[in-house]
Amino acid sequence: MNDQSPAPEVVFDTKWFQIVARRVAGDPHPHYVINCTDFVAVVAVTTQGELLLVRQFRAARGSTSLEVPSGHVEIGETPEEAARKELLEETGYVADKFELLRTLAPCIGRFSNQMWCYLALDARPTTDPDYRFEAGVEPVKYPGSLRTLLAEPEFCSSLSHTALLAALAQGRIGFDGPQKPG
Amino acid sequence: MNDQSPAPEVVFDTKWFQIVARRVAGDPHPHYVINCTDFVAVVAVTTQGELLLVRQFRAARGSTSLEVPSGHVEIGETPEEAARKELLEETGYVADKFELLRTLAPCIGRFSNQMWCYLALDARPTTDPDYRFEAGVEPVKYPGSLRTLLAEPEFCSSLSHTALLAALAQGRIGFDGPQKPG
- pLDDT, tens only, B98-153: 999 999 999 998 999 999 999 999 999 999 988 888 888 999 999 899 999 999 99
pLDDT for A142 beyond 50: yes
- Give the single-character DSSP code of A130: T
Q: Please give the ipTM for the structure prediction.
A: 0.91
Q: Are residues A89 and A7 in the same domain?
A: no
Chain B contact for A154 (CB, 8 A cutoff): no
Strands B93-94 and B115-125: antiparallel
In a domain, B174, yes or no: no
Percentage, residues of chain B above pLDDT 90: 78
Asked if A102 and A15 sit in the same domain, the reply is: no
Does residue A105 share a domain with residue A25?
no
Q: Are residues A9 and A73 in the same domain?
A: no
Residues with Cβ < 8 Å from B104, sequence gap 6 or more? A156, A157, A158, A161, B114, B115, B117, B162, B166
Report if residue A19 sits inside a domain.
yes
Other C-beta atoms closer than 10 Å to the C-beta of B130 total: 5
Rounded CA separation A121/A52 (Å)? 10
Share of chain A residues as helix, strand and coil, in percent rounded to the nearest 5: 15, 35, 45
What CATH code is carried by the domain that includes residue B114?
3.90.79.10
For residues A121 and A53, membership in a common domain is answered with: yes
* Residue at B179 is within a domain: no
At A58, which amino acid appears?
R
Inside any domain, residue A178: no
- HSE of A80 in the Cβ direction (CA atoms, 13 Å)? 9
Query: Are A11 and B12 within 8 A, CB to CB?
Result: yes
* CB atoms B108 and A65 under 8 Å: yes
Amino acid at B43: V
Same domain, A43 and A31: no
Do A31 and A43 belong together in one domain?
no
B chain contacts of residue A11, beta-carbon cutoff 8 Å: 12
Please check whether residues B30 and B46 belong to one and the same domain. no
B145 touches chain A (CB under 8 A): no
Indicate whether B52 and B76 sit together in one domain. yes
| A103 SS3 class | strand
Strands B115-125 and B39-46: parallel
Asked if A115 has any chain B CB less than 8 Å from its own CB, the reply is yes
pTM for the full predicted model: 0.92
Cβ B123 vs Cβ B87: under 8 Å: yes
Task: Out of B34, B59, B111, name the one closest to residue A24 (CB).
Answer: B59
A107 domain residue, yes or no: yes
Of the candidates A157, A164, A168, the beta carbon closest to that of B105 is on A157
Residue-wise pLDDT tens digits, B56-72: 999 888 899 999 999 99
Question: Do B78 and B110 belong together in one domain?
Answer: yes
User: Please, what is the average pLDDT of chain B?
Assistant: 92
Give the whole-angstrom CA distance, residue B67 versus residue A97: 31
Which domain, by its residues, includes A141? 39-169
pLDDT in tens, B90-99: 999 999 999 9
Asked if residue B48 lies in contact with residue B55, where contact means CB atoms within 8 angstroms, the answer is no
Is A57 at the interface with chain B, CB within 8 A?
yes
Residue B94 in any domain: the answer is yes
Are residues B7 and B62 located together in one domain of the fold? no
| Contact with chain A for residue B156, Cβ under 8 A | yes
Q: Are residues B154 and B124 in the same domain?
A: yes
